[in-house]
Amino acid sequence: MNLRAILVSCALALVLACDKPQSPGTPQSSGAAPTGSANLAKLMKDRNLSEADVTAALKTYTPSGRRDEYLLFASGGHSGQLLVIGVPSMRILKYVAVFTPEPWQGYGVGDKGSQEVLKEGYRHGKPITWGDMHHPALSETKGEYDGEFIFVNDKANPRIAVINLKDFVTEQIVESKLIEADHGGAFVTPNTEYVIETSQYAAPLGGAYADLKEYNEKYRGAMTFWRFDRAKRRIIPEESFAIEFPPYMQDLADSGKLTSDGWAFCNSINTERATGGVLEGNPPLESGASQNDMDYMHIVNWRKAAEVAKTKSKVIAGMRVIPLQVAIDEGLLYFVPEPKSPHGLDVTPDGEDLVVGGKLDTHATVFSFKKIQALIAAKKFEAKDPYGVPILPFAEAIRGQVELGLGPLHTAFDGDGNAYTSLFIETKVAKWNVKELKLVEKISTQYNIGHLVAAEGDTVAPKGKYLVAMNKWALDRFNSVGPLLPQNFQLIDLTGEANGGKMQLLYDLPIGLGEPHNAQIIKADKIKAWDIYKPVGLDAITKEKSPFTVEGGKERVERKGNVVDVYMTAIRSHFTPDVVRVKEGDKVRIHLTNLEQAHDATHGFAVNSYNINASLEPGKHTEIEFTADRPGVFPMYCTEFCSALHLEMAGYFLVEPKKK
Ligand code: K7E
Ligand code: CUA
SS3 track for 497-522: CCCCCCCEEEEEEEECCCCCCCEEEE
Q: Are 99 and 163 within 8 A, CB to CB?
A: no
Overall pTM > 0.75:
yes
Q: Which amino acid is at 459?
A: T
What does the pLDDT read at residue 660? 79
What does the pLDDT read at residue 35? 76
Q: Which residues of 197-218 are buried (b: 16+ CB within 10 A; e: fewer)?
A: bbbbbbbbbbeeeeeeeebeeb
Q: Is 638 in the pocket of ligand 2 (CB under 6 A)?
A: yes
Contacts (Cβ under 8 Å, ≥6 apart) of 339: 293, 294, 356, 358, 360, 361, 363, 365
Give the integer Cα–Cα distance in Å for 214 and 192.
Answer: 37
What does the pLDDT read at residue 32? 61
- Roughly what angle, to the nearest 10 degrees, separates helices 51-60 and 3-19? 150
Q: Are 442 and 405 within 8 A, CB to CB?
A: yes
Q: Is the dihedral of CA 263, 135, 235, 203 positive or negative?
A: positive
Q: Is 359 in the pocket of ligand 1 (CB under 6 A)?
A: no
Bridge partners of residue 605, in order along the sequence:
614
What does the pLDDT read at residue 31? 52
Give the integer Cα–Cα distance in Å for 266 and 345.
Answer: 7
What does the pLDDT read at residue 128? 96
Kindly give the pairing relationship between strand 418-423 and strand 428-433.
Answer: antiparallel
Residue nearest to atom 1 of ligand 2 (CA): 603
Give the integer Cα–Cα distance in Å for 394 and 76.
Answer: 37
Q: Pick from 193, 190, 207: which is nearest to 235 by CA?
A: 193
Q: Is 423 in the pocket of ligand 2 (CB under 6 A)?
A: no
Proximal ligand: closest to the CA of 345: 1
What does the pLDDT read at residue 17? 44
Q: Is 338 helix (H, G, I), strand (E, B) or coil?
A: strand
Proximal ligand: closest to the CA of 606: 2
Q: Are 538 and 545 within 8 A, CB to CB?
A: yes
Distance 307 CA to ligand 1 centre (A): 31
pLDDT tens digits for 416-464? 999 999 999 999 999 999 999 999 999 999 999 999 999 999 999 999 9
Q: Pick from 279, 278, 282, 331: which is nearest to 307 by CA?
A: 331
Q: Are 147 and 166 within 8 A, CB to CB?
A: no
Proximal ligand: closest to the CA of 135: 1
Proximal ligand: closest to the CA of 267: 1
Q: Is 616 in the pocket of ligand 2 (CB under 6 A)?
A: no
Helix extents (H) in 171-220: 215-218
- Roughly what angle, to the nearest 10 degrees, separates helices 3-19 and 36-46? 80
Per-residue CA distances from 659 to 584, 627, 631 (Å): 9, 17, 11
Extract the residue ranges of the chain whose pLDDT is less than 50: 1-8, 11-30
Distance 550 CA to ligand 2 centre (A): 18
Longest dimension (CA), the chain: 92
Q: Is 642 in the pocket of ligand 2 (CB under 6 A)?
A: yes
Q: Is 75 in the pocket of ligand 1 (CB under 6 A)?
A: no
Atom from ligand 1 closest to the CA of residue 424: 6
Q: Is 518 in the pocket of ligand 1 (CB under 6 A)?
A: yes
pLDDT tens digits for 179-207? 999 999 999 999 999 999 999 999 999 99
pLDDT tens digits for 43-64? 999 999 999 999 999 999 999 9
Atom from ligand 1 closest to the CA of residue 518: 2
Bridge partners of residue 488, in order along the sequence:
471, 510
Residue nearest to atom 3 of ligand 1 (CA): 134
Q: Is 646 in the pocket of ligand 2 (CB under 6 A)?
A: yes
Q: Is 409 in the pocket of ligand 1 (CB under 6 A)?
A: yes
